[in-house]
Chain A
């Protein structure tokens, strides 16, 4: 509830996701979905490794990195030694635990999440430059992706009214 009359409510968010880990992608999806649920226009732009989140082959196989993450804990709260993270299967195990925890909170899979966002009027875009780099075609992307954009075209979509924010996850 706004108490200050000069406060402008948020009308539009543009969220940019450039990384493909579970936490980066879900931060983007939760914010995008949260926006449309609040009646805020949402445009999601996936670039570089974030493209995994909208690539049919990869989207439901995202992982959390187990190396170089000082906030990683063992079940029970003990620190997670980085050296463990390099062992085969550890990253997959940790990632599947993360997904299980999210499922318990009724957080959907990536493809279902994208469908929820577009059902609410949100729009999903892919970055042309990163698509070219990774040799991806529009057909490789999930059906909910509306378009492949250059950065100029993205800024055109952002433009306009007061109450617009660009968020980098």
Chain B
């Protein structure tokens, strides 16, 4: 006689293999210890003064706003891309998906260099645009947004694509048989179904953009108030004023945690 499925699952969960727990504990500690070490080195008494400096305020404001702008851009372009990858079949789709994920696995500084070749003043696209209009992405706040989007968009596309795959396509089929137009189905059925994955993807994308360093410094440069984001400020402060660097890092950690913590389990397991 077979036991009911639910009970079988519960029984499986209770038999935790003996090696699993200590390894999991090591994994957690490995991530936690460096942050604890950072906290232990933090100049708590001077924190107020360090964080009130213009360099910190400028960098924080720039980081937060450019990460938001990059997330908006990534949603505008990335959700349609995720839909195409999840719902259509075309030759070269696996190549397209690999291409989308490339910025995730490459060193960001490679991305920054590639962006320069494409959108720099003598770049493939940037050159003609600059000659015609004088508009230039590098060394501007738009350059920071471009670098952030390039590096962070894959996190959104990947999350939304898997959310769309998990959604039951029969709802869309049913809506179609009832006469709903394609765009109506997309807005009223597809997007609401993928909602949690879109939220999770946007949050991951934003957090990644907030921490972006390599592509930003390579493509957009480094100037306080214009292109110097928190990670760039931390990097240079580490060489001159370690207390300020740690204080900046604390802010970055606090802001990131505040955004990541509310992510519920269900949003990450879409």
Instruction: Decide whether A and B assemble into one complex.
Output: no
- Measured CB to CB, the residues of A under 8 A from B are none
